[in-house]
Amino acid sequence: MTTSGYTESIAAAPRARRKLPRWWFAAALFGLLLGLSLLEQVTGADDLVSRGTVAATLIAVVPIMLAGLGGLWSERAGVVNIGLEGMMILGTWGAGYFGYHYGAWAGVAGAIVMGMLGGLVHAIATVVFGVDHIISGVAINIIALGAVQYLASLTFVGLPGGGQTQSPKIEDVPSINITFLGDFFGDIVDKNIFFVSQTAAVAQALVTNLSWLVVISMLLLVVTWFVLWRTSFGLRLRSCGESPSAAESLGVHVLRYKFAAVLISGGLAGLAGGFLAMVASSNYRDGQTGGRGYIGLAAMIFGNWRPGGLLAGSGLFGYSETLGLRAGGDSVHALLLAIAVLAIAAAVWQARQQQQRAAIITGVVAVALGVLYFAIDEVPSDFSTMTPYVVTLLVLAFASQRLRMPAADGQIYRKGSAG
């Protein structure tokens, strides 16, 4: 048909969606490392990229990332999951109980299964009964906490080193240890060559008792990306989050996919809890999750409902938390400078984007931070404790208008609503 296609020319042009090249992630890491090395040079803070920091950061990041991954699965299928925290809590107990009685890997499995139980409740409530997702999630958080404390009092009291609020020590998950490489990198680190040593430190952290669970978790991130964006299963699942009625009109069993997604979500959250109990520490403890389920949710939104972004979000949080906990004072102090510089960059960018008011505000923030940096030479402990939260908040304030959640996220869908 001769005139075919002119409607596009009239219709709105496609949103400028800059596609990132394949290697963007490596590039980002490289840049990050370079930046931090520079920061160490400038500020003299020496713990920004040490083996210990990297190792501890990994430990801090993984549970948040796994929780976020759980959120990613369910929200991509259109089910909001505030219950992540609860499912994590269930996971910690699962790891504690099965880990103690049947060994490390049983603990991992136990954590996943317990998390899935939580997911099952959420799925039944939201998918089958059409309960508001938030309500169900909140309820699950309450139930999980009570259930776990109750279970702990039943199962751990009287065991050696066990009690109302903690399980006995759990056998460790095996970890990777390549000593000669570790020593090799260690030597380079000690040479203190700009950037090289820092890179070596990272490498060293990756070969000295790196828990297999860390590796597995990182793989899960990749697998998630592949399954959701490269398989038909993933396409169907995402379509349930974008437009369930369209999906159903094409014969997709929407409810089944939502159900599956929420179960997987629970499993991942459970694993996150298990990780806390088995790798981050070595036994179940009451209140061990410390709101990391919510943080995971935040990291996922931060990451725009995408695995890469999620990793960035949880990384940012985990890293600044680690700095606060380790050397604390001067590392966080150094971080101030970094943020100030970034803020200035942001301000310039905003000015370019004709967002004068935003630019001014950002600029003021930047200057304030800069002044603060030179005014004090160590950050008081209370404030280094709040660093991760403040940083997350700041970063979001700069860059959160581009976020786009799945179109049907949080909506209750009933069969036969197509058309």
Partner 1 sequence: GSDSEGGDSGTDSPSSDAPKSDIKVGMAYDVGGRGDQSFNDSAAAGLDQAKEEGLIADAQESEAEDGEAETAREERLRTFAEAGFDPIIAVGFAYAPSLTKVSEEYPDVHFAIIDDASLEKVPNVASLVFAEEQGSFLVGAAAALKTESDHIGFIGGVETPLIQKFEAGYVAGAKAVNPDIEIDVKYLTQVPDFSGFGDPAKGKTAAQGMYDGGADIVYHAAGGSGGGVFEAAAEAKAKAIGVDSDQYNTADPSVQDVIMTSMLKNVNVAVHEYLKAIDGDSFPSGVTTYDLKVDGVGYSTSGGQIDDITDQLDDYKQQIIDGDITVPDKP
Partner 2 sequence: MSTPATPVAETAPATAEIAVRLRGIGKRFPGVIANDDINIDVRRGTIHAIVGENGAGKSTLMKILYGVQPPDSGTIEINGAEVSLHSPADAIKSGVGMVFQHFMLADNLTVLENVVLGAERLHGIGAKARAEVLRISDAYNLGIEPDRLVEALGVGARQRVEILKVLYRGARIVILDEPTAVLVPQEVDELFGNLRELKAEGLSVIFISHKLDEVLSVADEITVIRRGTTVKTVEPQGVSARQLAELMVGSELPSPSTEASTVTDEVLLSVSGLSLPSDEGRPLLDDVSFQIHRGEILGIAGVEGNGQAELVESIMGMRAASSGRIELAGADLSHLSTRERREGGIGYIPEDRHRHGLLLESPLWENRILGHQSRPPSVNHGLIDKRAARKDTARIIEAYDVRTPGPDVLARALSGGNQQKLIVGREMSGEPVLLIAAHPTRGVDVGAQAAIWRHIKDARRNGLAVLLISADLDELIGLSDRIEVILRGRFVGTFDPEDVTPERLGSAMTGAGEDK
Partner 3 sequence: MTKARLTRLGLGVASAVLALLAAFAITSLVLIAAGDPVGEVWGQLLSWPEQRNWANIINNATVLFLSGLAVAVSFRMNLFNIGVDGQYRVAAFTAAVVAGEAWLPGYLNTALAILCAMAVGAIWAGIAGVLRATRGVSEVISTIMLNAIATSLVAYLLRKAAVREEGSNALGTKEIPEGSRIGGLPFGDFEIYGFIIMAAAFGFAFWFVLNRTRFGFDLRATGQSTTAAVASGVSVKKMTVAAMMISGAIAGLVGLPILFGDAYTYGSTFQSGLGFAGIAIALLGRNNPIGIALGALLFAYLDEQSNPLQILVGVSPDIVAITQGVIVLTVVISYELVRRYGVRLEQREVARALATPSTDQPEEVSA
Interaction of residue 132 with partner 3, rule CB under 8 A: yes
Enumerate the H helices of 326-376 as residue ranges.
Answer: 329-352, 356-375
Measured from the Cβ of residue 27, the count of other Cβ atoms closer than 10 Å reads 11
Q: What is the closest distance, in whole angstroms, from the C-beta atom of residue 287 to partner 1 in the complex?
A: 5
For residue 273, the SS3 value is helix
Mapping DSSP to helix (H, G, I), strand (E, B) and coil, where does residue 237 land?
helix
Which of 153, 179, 400, 417 is the binder for partner 1 (CB under 8 A)? 153
- For partner 2, which is the closer residue by CB, 16 or 375? 16
Taking CB within 5 to 8 Å according to partner kind, which of partner 3, partner 1, partner 2, none is near residue 146? Answer: partner 3
Q: Does residue 287 interact with partner 3 by CB under 8 A?
A: no
Q: Is the dihedral of CA 100, 104, 105, 111 positive or negative?
A: positive
- Token pair recorded at residue 200: 């070596």
Among 178, 385, 390, 412, binds partner 1 (CB under 8 A): 385
Q: What is the closest distance, in whole angstroms, from the C-beta atom of residue 280 to partner 3 in the complex? A: 18
CA 411, chain centre distance (Å):
24
> How many residues make contact with partner 3 (CB under 8 A)?
47
Task: Kindly tell me which residue out of 32, 33, 34, 52 binds partner 1, with binding defined by CB under 8 A.
Answer: 52
Q: Indicate which single residue of 192, 231, 353, 381 sits in contact with partner 1 (rule: CB under 8 A).
A: 381
Written as six digits, the tokens of 395 are 């970063």
If binding is defined by CB under 8 A, does position 372 make contact with partner 3? no
Q: Does 245 bind partner 1 (CB under 8 A)?
A: no
Distance of CA 123 to the CA centre of its chain: 22
Q: Is 229 in the site for partner 3 (CB under 8 A)?
A: no
Instruction: State yes or no: residue 159 binds partner 3 (CB under 8 A).
Output: no
**How many angstroms separate the CA atoms of 345 and 401, rounded?**
17
Q: How far apart are CA 325 and CA 137, in angstroms?
A: 30
297 binds, among partner 3, partner 1, partner 2, none (CB under 5 to 8 A by kind): partner 3
- What amino acid occupies position 195? F
Q: Is 414 left (phi over 0), alpha (psi -120 to 50) or beta?
A: beta
Rounded-to-integer distance, Cα 217 and Cα 171, Å: 19
- Residue ranges binding partner 3 (CB under 8 A): 121, 125, 129-132, 134-136, 138-147, 149-150, 153-154, 164, 291, 294-295, 297-298, 301-302, 358, 380, 382-383, 385-386, 389-390, 392-393, 396-398, 400-401, 403
